[in-house]
Structure 1
Amino acid sequence: MSRSVVDPRSALQWRADQAAGPIERITPQETAVGLSFDGRPHTVLMATPDDLEDLARGFVVTEAVAAAPDIAAIDIRTEEQGVLVDVRFAPGAGPRKARPRNLEGRSSCGLCGVERLADAVRPLPVLAASDRVLAHAVIPRALERLEVEQELGRLTRATHAAAFFSPDGDLVLLREDVGRHNALDKLAGGLLREGREPAAGFVVVTSRCSFEMVEKTVRMGCPILVAVSAPTALAIDRSQAANLTLVALARADGHMVFAGRERLVDPTMETV
């Protein structure tokens, strides 16, 4: 994590059992990131200003703009108002299919500026069936590791994390951001850049589980999504339709499986 993504700020701390006094609090940077395709502006994301190449690469894939091999280059330029990130596509690449937007993408929302209902909930690919399974007990071990490795979250208590784990619970890659969608896009882009196979593990997110998080995980090609918060009804419906295993309300002492339970096993039991 670059130190440039945090900013110490002074505050007045009040506690019921002690006198008010000054403190210094580490806060995360939230920067306007202008995303364009072949020089054409598309949207402005409010994001933590690191891993921006991963953010752009992941956005292209999880928003079904284009396939990862279509990306020829990603140019990043810092301006006074923020950061400009331009994705250049290879000559002859397929047509761009980005959802049209007319507003900035705020850190709390994955669909800001989408103009039509048809663009909000689009058809999803169906994940292929797989013989790979995940033991229930691996999930709390992954959560414990994730909490330890969230450097920006530990400093600020104001960011989200998205992480990819192996079926054994080994942490493969972690990304953090003030926006939950940005964190997941950064993770997707990082996996693509490193040549990792998303189908070979599972994703854990520290945010609430809305349907956009489900959609991005499916388009990554990852079959299992674990969230620490509860899912919406639409998130469950989309998971079932796309053959995604959705685990939510994940805690150290247990979790709930809302879709795709056949991918989760308990070696100590005879049945799933």
Structure 2
Amino acid sequence: MDQGPVTQPRTGLEWRPGGEARRIERITPREEAVGLSFDGRPHTVLMATPADLQELAIGFAVTEGLAGRDDILDVTERRTAEGVLIDLTLSPAARGRRARPRGLEGRSSCGLCGVQRLADAVRPLPRVISDRSFRHEAVHRATSAIGELQTLGRLTRATHAAAFADASGTLLLAREDVGRHNALDKLAGALLRGGVDASQGFVVVTSRCSFEMVEKTARIGCPMIVAVSAPTDLAIRKAEEAGVTLIALARADGHAVFSCAERLMAEDHAHV
């Protein structure tokens, strides 16, 4: 489905110390309401960039633990005056899974908006079983290259990206969105739709690493997440629980490993 343009030009007044205000034009990313439903039952509304929305829905369903990829039988998309409605038809095996009840819309800055109970906010994670190891050089290669795939980010300076790299650090897929969680869900959906084995590579995100980013990484069976910004304490604890290697502060001058450092091997011992 054609979701229309993902950017909108806007004008503003720019002020600088010692100078006069001047009119400027900025290209801004669109942010739109996206309603997700399962078997016709409304579940939540996300605020997202209107692109790759079916992948967003698939990734959300899997990273929320509502369904496995094989449980998603069909995806339909319908535009309304208020936004876009995406409905997933699930297999009978998935219909009995309890979703985290949500009472509010999911804002682009929040991965758990509307979750109503504390017990539903921080759930036990599946443990990622993977013997894949990676070189530090692969992490550096991936983080150095992600900017080239941020088409919308370069244009607007207002979006996040999530990418998937193979063991060598070559980026295979990237998705962008105004919300960091949405970008990762879109990436998850693209991996699942494309039949890419997430256990053989790692995720790179252009944001901070909060615990729900670790949760989404673990639920697609990916053994490592790399963030360009800092992690939270809970993200580190959940990464340790799930057996996910968490690398953060990944910049041109290096990176820091906060969990499961044994997966980062010296160059001559790396499993590639």
Task: Give the TM-score category using the shorter length.
Answer: over 0.9
Using the TM superposition, give the Cα deviation of residue 90 of structure 1 relative to its aligned residue in structure 2, in angstroms.
2.7
Q: Matches of residues 144-163 of structure 1 in structure 2 within 5 Å?
A: 144-163=144-163
C-alpha distance 12-3 of structure 1, shift in aligned 2 (>3 A): farther
State the partner residue of 2:208: 208
State the partner residue of 1:76: 77
How much identity, in percent, do the aligned residues show? 61
State the partner residue of 1:137: 137
C-alpha distance 94-149 of structure 1, shift in aligned 2 (>3 A): same
* 1:171 correspondence with 2:171: yes
Using the TM superposition, give the Cα deviation of residue 95 of structure 1 relative to its aligned residue in structure 2, in angstroms.
1.3
- Structure 2, gaps ≥5 residues long: none
Q: Matches of residues 74-153 of structure 1 in structure 2 within 5 Å?
A: 74-130=75-131, 132-153=132-153
C-alpha distance 264-176 of structure 1, shift in aligned 2 (>3 A): same
Taking only aligned residues, the RMSD between alpha carbons, in angstroms, comes to 1.7
Q: 1 CA distance for matches of 2:237 and 2:121?
A: 15
Return the TM-score normalized by structure 1: 0.95
Q: 2 CA distance for matches of 1:168 and 1:158?
A: 29
Q: 2 CA distance for matches of 1:17 and 1:142?
A: 41
Q: Report if aligned partners of 2:130, 2:199 keep a CA contact under 8 Å in 1.
A: no
Q: Report if aligned partners of 1:159, 1:176 keep a CA contact under 8 Å in 2.
A: yes
Q: 1 CA distance for matches of 2:24 and 2:4?
A: 20
Q: Deviations over 1:36-83 (max 9, x none)?
A: 111111000000011001000000100001111111111111111111
Q: 2 CA distance for matches of 1:175 and 1:122?
A: 26
Q: Deviations over 1:184-227 (max 9, x none)?
A: 00000000111100001000001111100000000011000000
Q: Report if aligned partners of 2:3, 2:50 keep a CA contact under 8 Å in 1.
A: no
Q: 2 CA distance for matches of 1:104 and 1:92?
A: 27
C-alpha distance 199-129 of structure 1, shift in aligned 2 (>3 A): closer
Using the TM superposition, give the Cα deviation of residue 231 of structure 1 relative to its aligned residue in structure 2, in angstroms.
0.8
State the partner residue of 2:187: 187
C-alpha distance 39-251 of structure 1, shift in aligned 2 (>3 A): same
- Structure 1, gaps ≥5 residues long: none
Q: Which amino acid aligns with 1:249?
A: L
Q: Report if aligned partners of 2:150, 2:176 keep a CA contact under 8 Å in 1.
A: yes
C-alpha distance 35-126 of structure 1, shift in aligned 2 (>3 A): same
Return the TM-score normalized by structure 2: 0.95
Q: Deviations over 1:245-266 (max 9, x none)?
A: 0001111111110001011123
Q: Report if aligned partners of 1:30, 1:48 keep a CA contact under 8 Å in 2.
A: yes
Q: Report if aligned partners of 1:66, 1:97 keep a CA contact under 8 Å in 2.
A: no
Q: Report if aligned partners of 2:138, 2:167 keep a CA contact under 8 Å in 1.
A: yes
C-alpha distance 233-143 of structure 1, shift in aligned 2 (>3 A): same
Q: Which amino acid aligns with 1:187?
A: L
Q: 1 CA distance for matches of 2:246 and 2:148?
A: 23
